[in-house]
């Protein structure tokens, strides 16, 4: 079933067969990422402003947290128009011609408005999700935030109602006439992988098991839930 773009603004135009608008696909890509670029228009000078930051998806929203005094914090408090982008790089695509070099990726663009989360339950749910995203079960193991820490944390949300994803997979798309050129062509896979955890030097009390021993951190990598390759 072809799912249409939820609005003209999020309709992918070029190589539109790579577009995805299904909520589940968008959620799956977002759940594989850690960093988002938040674009807005700075009220001070009307110029574009892009801030990279951490995020987590919960249900139909992307959440970020920031200092209330930061530009990002102010933008969320003001309900500013925003555009968010998450990009996961899955491979370098080496073609037989310069023109057809490409990258395999899964990316999401979200258009919406910033909203400062003030409801205590939604705030806690978002903050819990941030910590659980680092390591499942961690929220209940660590000290929870104090009132002062909560006051120093602006939680912002953007709805996923207007979002698009784009996915490129598979080999280079070489021109027929280039197939005999004697140069290597193919894909160099890329992935985000966790290294061996390094305990903090100030760990003076027995700190329990390292993340590698139980939670699957060691060797954790993006789950690559992309659909099967499609050629252009
Ligand atoms: C790692 C990477 C490398 C890329 N390299 C190139 C390149 O070299 N040259 C090139 O032309 N394109 C490249 N792209 C694709 C690029 O992101 C755009 O899709 C492309 O510029 C075409 O945009 P458009 O004119 O169709 O859409 P636009 O008119 O620019 O945008 C319309 C709407 O489409 C949606 N959209 C557009 N692109 C994406 C996307 N990538 N992910 C999710 N939603 C999107 C957004 O909602 C946007 O508001 C790359 C993408 C990635 C992630």
CATH of the domain at 30: 2.30.110.10
* Within-domain flag for 82: yes
**3-state DSSP helix/strand/coil % of the chain, to nearest 5:** 20, 30, 45
Q: For ligand 1, is residue 104 a contact (CB within 6 Å)?
A: no
**The pLDDT of residue 84 is above 90:** yes
Q: Summarize pLDDT for 134-188 with one digit per residue, the tens.
A: 999 999 999 999 999 999 999 999 999 999 999 999 999 999 999 999 999 999 9
Instruction: Kindly report the average pLDDT of the chain as a whole number.
Output: 90
**229: confidence class by pLDDT, cuts 50, 70, 90:** very low
* Within-domain flag for 221: no
**The pLDDT of residue 216 is above 70:** no
* Within-domain flag for 225: no
Q: Flag the least confident range among 8-17, 150-159, 161-170, 195-204.
A: 195-204
Q: What value does the CA radius of gyration of the chain take, rounded to a whole number of Å? A: 21
∠ CA 56-57-63, rounded to 5° = 60
* Within-domain flag for 116: yes
**214: confidence class by pLDDT, cuts 50, 70, 90:** very low
**38: confidence class by pLDDT, cuts 50, 70, 90:** very high
**The pLDDT of residue 82 is above 90:** yes
* Within-domain flag for 87: yes
What is the structure's pLDDT at 3? 84
* Within-domain flag for 43: yes
Which one is predicted more confidently, 66 or 219?
A: 66
Tokens in use for 212? 């590698």
Tokens 């674009």 map to which residue?
A: 39
**70: confidence class by pLDDT, cuts 50, 70, 90:** very high
* Within-domain flag for 206: yes
The residue nearest atom 21 of ligand 1, judged by CA position, is: 14
**The pLDDT of residue 227 is above 50:** no
CA of 12 to the centre of ligand 1 (A): 7
The set of residues, in sequence order, having a beta carbon less than 8 Å from that of 91 and lying 6+ positions away, is: 103, 104, 187, 188, 189, 190
The residue nearest atom 22 of ligand 1, judged by CA position, is: 14
**The pLDDT of residue 221 is above 60:** no
* Within-domain flag for 230: no
**200: confidence class by pLDDT, cuts 50, 70, 90:** confident
Average pLDDT over residues 4-13: 94
Number of domain units in the chain: 1
Q: Which domain holds residue 160?
A: 8-214
Looking at ligand 1, which atom is closest to the CA of residue 106? 53
CA of 183 to the centre of ligand 1 (A): 28
∠ CA 14-20-22, rounded to 5° = 155
What is the structure's pLDDT at 232? 39
**The pLDDT of residue 66 is above 70:** yes
């Amino acid at each position: 079933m072809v799912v249409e773009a939820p609005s003209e603004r999020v309709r992918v135009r070029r190589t539109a067969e790579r577009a995805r608008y299904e909520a589940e696909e968008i959620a799956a890509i977002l759940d594989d990422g850690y960093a988002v670029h938040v674009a807005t228009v700075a009220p001070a000078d009307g110029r574009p402003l892009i801030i990279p930051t951490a995020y987590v998806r919960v249900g139909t929203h992307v959440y970020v947290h920031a200092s209330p005094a930061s530009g990002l914090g102010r933008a969320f408090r003001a309900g500013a128009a925003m555009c968010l982008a998450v990009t996961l790089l899955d491979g370098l695509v080496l073609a037989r011609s310069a023109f057809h070099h490409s990258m395999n990726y899964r990316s999401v663009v979200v258009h919406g408005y910033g909203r400062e989360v003030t409801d205590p339950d939604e705030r806690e749910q978002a903050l819990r999700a941030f910590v659980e995203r680092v390591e499942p079960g961690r929220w209940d193991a660590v000290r929870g935030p104090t009132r002062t820490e909560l006051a120093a944390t602006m939680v912002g949300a953007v709805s996923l109602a207007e979002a698009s994803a784009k996915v490129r997979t598979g080999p280079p798309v070489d021109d027929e006439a280039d197939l005999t050129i004697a140069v290597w062509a193919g894909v160099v896979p890329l992935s985000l992988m966790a290294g061996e955890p390094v305990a903090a030097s100030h760990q003076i009390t027995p700190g329990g098991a390292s993340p590698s021993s139980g939670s699957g951190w060691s060797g954790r990598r993006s789950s690559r839930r992309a659909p099967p390759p499609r050629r252009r």
